[in-house]
């Protein structure tokens, strides 16, 4: 922000706060260098498109009240509708909204929109310099942490399901599934720099896609498993408990390949007790095992450092 403040004031003594605001808002809800850089790029793209729309729409209106108010309402709707979907589209509507408001005040002209672009570029540059030389959390470190947390959620979901299927009424895998969904949402944000179409790291982009596809399938299978485990008729089947333990072991090999397999929860001598929902539960567990096996290649393949640590 100090860089944005100094350069922003050099560009304009009246509109320097645009640069500071840009630098500040780029950092909101970001946790790594890559996330911040991608967010800055999207903000600049949205601002450029918004300025172009302002030149084509807001400037010719000359602040005419009726059409301007109608467009303002459309921009407000666009901001709230696109905020959770696309940062670039949100910034497009924010920039167009600002242009329309300045038109109502009678101060809008092409030079003001050009100044808006300059200050946005200054703020984005300040944010880029800050994350490059100051922010200690790299995209790789943040991604590893979220992948590890997602894998632990899968393992805990399998453990809770095993306990529930073994007859423990207090065990409940549903909260673990909800946590897994939230973690995967955060992981998508962390992987955004690698998955971006302009990313030059093609090998890592393909690897990140493999990881995301496999973890999404893990979440789908975990949801189905939690539904089956919640069914009282699905309890007390030793095959399901054993399959849950195999899933736990598979996660353990991904998170910590050198660790010994954990002791099973199945009591010695337990016999299977088939029930109508057993096959569906086993299908979900086999799907989890297959997804975890697919994760082994991008996470542990070759001599690469594992993406997920314990």
Structure confidence at residue 306 (pLDDT): 42
User: What is the spatial distance between Cα 147 and Cα 47, in angstroms, rounded to a whole number?
Assistant: 33
205 and 289 Cβ atoms separated by less than 8 Å: no
User: What is the spatial distance between Cα 237 and Cα 166, in angstroms, rounded to a whole number?
Assistant: 7
Identify the weakest region by mean pLDDT among 195-209, 214-228, 238-252: 195-209
Alpha-carbon distances, residue 143 vs 107, 215, 303, 306 (angstroms) = 46, 13, 19, 11
* Mean pLDDT score, 89-106: 92
Token pair belonging to 219: 């979440």
Would you give the end-to-end CA distance of the chain in angstroms? 36
Structure confidence at residue 96 (pLDDT): 93
User: What is the spatial distance between Cα 244 and Cα 161, in angstroms, rounded to a whole number?
Assistant: 7
Structure confidence at residue 269 (pLDDT): 41
Identify the weakest region by mean pLDDT among 90-99, 242-251, 254-263: 254-263
Identify the weakest region by mean pLDDT among 3-7, 56-60, 94-98: 3-7
Q: Where are the domains of the chain?
A: 2-133, 139-300
User: What is the spatial distance between Cα 246 and Cα 190, in angstroms, rounded to a whole number?
Assistant: 29
Structure confidence at residue 137 (pLDDT): 66
Q: What is the largest CA-CA distance in the chain?
A: 84
Tell whether the model's pLDDT for residue 206 goes beyond 70: yes
Identify the weakest region by mean pLDDT among 150-154, 193-197, 276-280: 276-280
Model pLDDT for residues 257-294, shown as the tens digit of each residue: 555 555 444 444 444 455 555 667 777 777 877 888 77
Confidence of residue 310 (pLDDT cuts 50, 70, 90): very low
Backbone angle region of 286, left / alpha / beta, with phi > 0 → left and psi within -120 to 50 → alpha: alpha
Identify the weakest region by mean pLDDT among 13-17, 59-63, 141-145, 195-199: 195-199
The CB-side HSE value for 238 (13 A sphere, CA atoms) comes to: 9
Tell whether the model's pLDDT for residue 79 goes beyond 90: yes
Structure confidence at residue 256 (pLDDT): 66
| Most confidently predicted of 52-66, 179-193, 194-208, 258-272 | 52-66
150 and 187 Cβ atoms separated by less than 8 Å: yes
Tell whether the model's pLDDT for residue 17 goes beyond 80: yes
* Backbone φ, ψ for residue 235 (5° rounding): -85, 165
Average pLDDT, the chain: 78
Structure confidence at residue 270 (pLDDT): 43
Confidence of residue 235 (pLDDT cuts 50, 70, 90): low
| Most confidently predicted of 2-11, 78-87, 153-162, 201-210 | 78-87
Structure confidence at residue 199 (pLDDT): 59
* Mean pLDDT score, 42-60: 90
* Mean pLDDT score, 174-192: 86
Percent of the chain with pLDDT over 90: 13
């Amino acid at each position: 922000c100090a860089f944005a403040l100094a350069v922003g004031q050099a560009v304009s003594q009246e509109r320097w706060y645009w640069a500071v605001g840009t630098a500040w808002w780029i950092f909101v809800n970001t946790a790594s260098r890559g996330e911040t850089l991608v967010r800055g790029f999207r903000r600049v793209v949205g601002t450029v498109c918004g300025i172009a729309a302002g030149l084509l729409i807001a400037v010719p209106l000359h602040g005419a009240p009726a059409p301007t108010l109608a467009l303002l309402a459309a921009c407000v709707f666009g901001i709230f509708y696109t905020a959770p979907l696309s940062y670039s589209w949100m910034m497009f509507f924010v920039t167009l909204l600002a242009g329309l408001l300045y038109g109502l005040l009678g101060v809008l002209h092409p030079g003001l929109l050009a100044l808006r672009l300059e200050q946005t570029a200054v703020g984005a540059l300040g944010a880029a310099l800050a994350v490059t030389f100051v922010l200690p959390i790299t995209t790789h470190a943040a991604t590893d942490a979220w992948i590890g947390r997602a894998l632990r959620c899968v393992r805990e979901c399998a453990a809770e399901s095993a306990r529930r299927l073994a007859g423990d009424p207090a065990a409940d895998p549903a909260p673990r599934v909800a946590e897994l969904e939230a973690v995967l949402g955060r992981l998508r944000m962390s992987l955004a720099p690698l998955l971006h179409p302009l990313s030059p790291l093609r090998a890592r982009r393909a690897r990140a896609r493999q990881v995301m596809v496999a973890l999404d399938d893990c979440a789908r299978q975990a949801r189905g498993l939690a539904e089956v485990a919640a069914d009282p008729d699905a309890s007390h089947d030793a095959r399901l408990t054993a399959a849950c333990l195999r899933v736990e072991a598979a996660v353990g090999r991904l998170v910590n390949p050198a660790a010994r397999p954990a002791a099973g929860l199945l009591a010695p001598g337990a016999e299977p007790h088939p029930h109508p929902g057993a096959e569906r539960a086993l299908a979900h567990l086999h799907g989890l095992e297959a997804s975890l096996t697919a994760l082994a290649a991008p996470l542990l393949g070759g001599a690469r450092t594992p993406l997920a640590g314990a």
